[in-house]
Chain A
Amino acid sequence: MRRFGYTVCSVDSLFLSGNEAFARGALRAGVAFACGYPGTPSTEILEALSAAADGDGRVQAEWCINEKVALETAIGASLAGARTLVAMKHVGLNVAADPFMTVSLTGVNAALVIVSADDPGMHSSQNEQDNRTFAKFAKVPMLEPADSQEAYEYVAEACALAEEFDVPVLLRSTTRISHGRSRVVPRAPVAFEPRSYERSIEKHVMMPQFARQRNRLVLARLARLRERAEHTSLNVLEAGTADFGIISSGAAYTYAREAFPKAWFLKLGMSHPLPVEKVAKLYRCVSRVAVVEELDPFIEEQVRALGVPVVGKEAIPADGELDQEIVFAALEPYLKRRPPRRRRPVMPPEPRVSAPAPAEPELPVRPPVLCPGCPHRAVFAMLRKHKVTPLGDIGCYTLGALPPLDALDSCLCMGASVGMMAGMNKVLGRRAAAAVLGDSTFFHSGVTPLIDARYNEAEGLVIVLDNRTTAMTGHQGHPGTGLRLDGSEGPALDIERLCQGIGVRCETVDALDTGAFESALKRELDARGLGVIVALAPCALMVPGKRRPTVDEERCNLCGLCLDIGCPALAPGETAVQVGAACMGCALCTAVCKRGALSVEQADAAGGP
C-alpha cells in the first residue's frame, strides 16, 4: 500500500498503472491465489496484489522459482478450487509452455488466468515475440485490455470465461498497458464461491486415450468460444462517419482511435478466437478496412483468409511499438487512393474433428499396464491402502492412474506433479495432496519445483519412484544413474543428498520391501512440512526379481485381493489363483495376500522364465 501507492484523482476513481489495475481487478474478481516470476513489464502485478491484500488473508501471492513452476502451482491452486492468476513476461510463457499447452486440454476447476505481458519495442527484453500466437497455438481464449480500466475489469471477465468454458484464459498485456497509467472507476466485487476438488482421470490424466477425448472437446470448445466472441460486449463495432474501418486491440487501438477519430472501429477486447461475423459486418459498413496491431499480423492474416482486401503490415511496421503518428502516417496515403473493389467475406468453415477409431464395444480393451514385477505397483498398492492418491507425472507410472490401482489423480507435463501439489496444498491450507514422479522425471523438471516448495514453505509429500532408468522410452540413462548415451558412465547424482542440499527431509526405502515403505509412508503421513520418499528398486525389465511365488490351493479362496494389484501375471483359476509365465518374481502378491496362500518358499527359489 505504501510502496505501490496510487493517487486518488476524484472521489470514486483511481489513477492506476495497468499492472496495479490487474492486481485490483484480481482482488475484485475473488482471486485467492496468485503467483509468477518477475519480468518486465509484468513484475508489479504480483507486487501490487501482495501489497493491496496487505496480509488480510484474501489472497496468497508468491514468487515462484520460474514461470513453469508458477503455472503448475497455479494449476494446482485452480484445481483445489481457488480463482487463480499467474503473471509473467512474454518470454516467461516460453518457459511455461509445457504446462500451458496441456492445461488447455485438462481445463480448470476454479478460474485460471494467465497474464502475459509482451514488450513491443524490447524496452527490457531479449526478443519481441508476439504471444497472441500462444492463444491460437493452445486454442484458448485471449483478452486484450486497452487501458487500466479494462485491465481492471478484464480479470473478472477472464475468470467468468474460464469457468464457463472450462479453459485457462490468456490475458495479454503489453508494456504500454502494464506501465501506462489511467483512470479506473472501481466496480462492485464479484461474488465467487470456492469450488471443491473432484478426482477425474479422464479430465486430468493426459495419457493418450484420455488426451484424445479431451482434444475433441477442445476443438468443440473453440467453436463455442468463437460464437461467444461474436456476441461478447468486449468486442464492439463502433460507428464512424468516414468510409474507413479499423480493426484493432490493446494499446494499438488507442493509437488508431486518436489518429482517425472519424473512422469506424472494430475494437477487440477478446481477440482470440476472432469474431469473423463482426469483421464481415464491418466490411458491410465501409469500403476500406485496415488492421492496426503491434508486432505480428495476427488479426490481419485471419482477415485476409476471409478473402477481403485489407491494409495491414505493408503499411504498419511489424516491429517495435506504434503510436498515433506512426499509424496516421502509415494509413493516410491509403485513404487517398481509390477504395478497393468490394468483396464479400467468405466465412471460414468449422474444422472437422476426426471420428474415434472404429471399435467393437463388446470386445474388452487392452490398455497398457504396469509390467509384471514392476516396483511401482508395490508403491501404488501401499498408497491405496493408506488412501493417498497423489498428483502424478509423466512415465510408466502414469499407468497407475487406471483401475484397479486408481493410484494417481493427474498427469500434465514433465515435473508438474510437485508444483501442482504445492499450489493445491497452499489453497487447501493442509497437506492434502502428495506428488509422485519417476527418477528421470525428477531430474528433468522435478528439482526446481521442490526448491520452490522449500522456498515458499509449501507442505506435501513427494514420492520419487526411482527405478534407476528412464523406463517408458526404453531404458535411457539420466543424471541419477550417470549412464550416458554412448554407454560411458559419468557421475551419478544422489537424490537424497540433493534433497539434503535443498533442505528437504528425504528417506530412501526399497520399493519392493512393502513393510519398510509402509513405515516410511506412515512417518511422512504423520509429519508436517515437506518430505521426500525415494522408493528405490530397479525396473523389473532390467533386473527381474527371483521370488516367484507358489500358490497353496487349499488356502486360496479367490478373494481377489492379489488380483486388485493389477498384475498381468496373476489370473483366477477354477479353485485358486494362478501365477502365469509372465511372473517376474517381485513377490508383491505374497505381501497383499491375507491368507498366506501365496508364498515364496526360498529367497533363492527358481526365477521366472
Chain B
Amino acid sequence: MNGTTTVSLVGVGGQGVLLATNILAQTAMAQGYDVKASEVKGMAQRGGSVLSTVRFGKTVWSPLARHADIVIATELLEGRRALLLLSPQGALVCARTVIAPGSVLRGEMEYPQDIEAAAAARSVALVLVDAEAVAREAGTVRAANVALLGAASVKLPFGEPAWQRGLAAAIPAKILDVNQRAFALGREAHLHEEVKQ
C-alpha cells in the first residue's frame, strides 16, 4: 500500500524466523529505506506457527499488513498456509523443510502436498529451495533460515553491500562466516531453481 513493500516471514517456532526478520529489516535500513517490523513472541516460540512482518519504503506508517508482496517460509506447511497472505502477483519463497504438526503425526490430518497447484491457482510465483541441504553445504543445517533468505534476496531490491551489512548487524560475529556462506549459496540456489522452471 502506498509504495510500501511488505515481506512476511513464516515458519515454525525455533527455526530462526525472528533472526531472518531482523537481518531483512537491517538490510532494508542499510539500503536507505524506512523500515517497520513486527513479530509475535511468547507462545509462538514453542513449536507453533510463527509469523513476522517487515515493511519497507520511503515512509512506512503501519508495522502490520494483512497482505504481503513476498512471503518467505522456512517450512512447507507454513508456506502453504501463507498463500492466503499473498497479494496477487506475489511471490512465495519456501523451504522444502517438512515439520509435521501433532495432528499429522497422530494421523488425524494429512500433510498438504498441493503447494505447487495451490500457488499456481493463485498466480503466485513459487520458488522452492532445499534450504537445509544448502545450509549443510555451507557448514551447518542451523543456517537454513539464512540460506533461504539468500534465495529470497533475488526477489528483493537490496544490493550486496546492504545484505552484508544486514547480516553483520543481526548475526553474532562468531557464526557470521558460515551464515555468509549459507546466504551466498542460497542466492545461487534460487537462480538455479529459476533456470529450471
Residues of A at under 8 Å CB distance from B?
207-208, 358-360, 362-371, 396, 399, 403-404, 472-474, 560, 563, 566, 568, 570-572, 581
Contacts and interface: CB of A to CB of B under 8 A. Distances in A.
Contacts of A207: 43
A404 B106 contact: yes
A363 B112 contact: yes
Nearest to B48: A368
A563 B105 contact: yes
Contacts of A366: 12, 47-49, 77-78, 101
B106 A563 contact: yes
Given A358-B84, A359-B84, A369-B48, A364 B104 contact: yes
A566 to B, nearest CB: 6
B58 interface: no
B119 to A, nearest CB: 13
The 7 closest A-B pairs by CB, nearest first: A368-B48, A364-B109, A368-B46, A366-B101, A369-B47, A366-B49, A364-B103
B80 interface: yes
23 contacts: A359-B81, A359-B84, A360-B81, A363-B81, A364-B104, A364-B108, A364-B109, A365-B49, A365-B103, A366-B49, A367-B48, A367-B101, A368-B47, A369-B46, A370-B46, A371-B14, A399-B43, A404-B106, A474-B41, A563-B105, A568-B102, A572-B107, A581-B141
Contact of B77 (A364, A403, A404, A563): A364
A403 B108 CA distance: 12
A498 to B, nearest CB: 28
Nearest to B78: A366
A566 B46 CA distance: 13
A368 B112 CA distance: 19
A568 B77 contact: no
A244 B106 CA distance: 70
Contact of A396 (B46, B78, B106, B112): B46
Contacts of A581: 141
B187 to A, nearest CB: 25
A207 B42 CA distance: 11
A472 B42 contact: yes
A452 B133 CA distance: 57
A366 B41 CA distance: 15
A299 B46 CA distance: 45
B102 A363 contact: no
Contacts of B14: 371
Contact of A363 (B45, B46, B80, B105): B80
B54 to A, nearest CB: 19
B102 A208 contact: no
B130 to A, nearest CB: 16
B190 to A, nearest CB: 25
Interface residues of A: mostly helix, strand, loop or mixed? loop
Contacts of B107: 572
* Interface size of B as a range: 20 to 34
B87 to A, nearest CB: 14
A473 B77 contact: no
Given A404-B106, A473-B42, A568-B102, 12 more contacts: A364-B104, A364-B111, A365-B103, A367-B48, A368-B44, A368-B47, A371-B46, A472-B42, A474-B41, A560-B106, A566-B102, A571-B100
A210 B70 CA distance: 30
Given A370-B46, A404-B106, A570-B105, A362 B78 contact: no
Given A368-B13, A404-B106, A572-B105, A363 B77 contact: yes
B102 A404 contact: yes
B106 A208 contact: no
With most chain B CB atoms within 10 A of its CB, the pick from A367, A371, A396 is A367
A261 B141 CA distance: 83
Interface string B57-76: 00000000000000000000
A98 to B, nearest CB: 18
A91 to B, nearest CB: 31
Contacts of B46: 368-371, 396, 399, 472
Interface in B90-126: 99-112
Contact of B112 (A358, A362, A365): A362
Interface string B24-56: 000000000000000001111111110000000
A183 B69 CA distance: 72
Contacts of A364: 77, 101, 103-104, 108-112
Contacts of B100: 571
A358 B81 CA distance: 10
A254 B102 CA distance: 62
Given A362-B112, A366-B78, A371 B42 contact: no
Nearest to B103: A364
A364 B106 CA distance: 11
A472 B43 contact: yes
Contacts of A208: 43
Interface string B125-141: 00000000000000001
A368 B43 contact: yes
A563 B44 CA distance: 22
Nearest to A374: B46
A568 B104 CA distance: 11
Nearest to B109: A364
Contacts of B80: 363
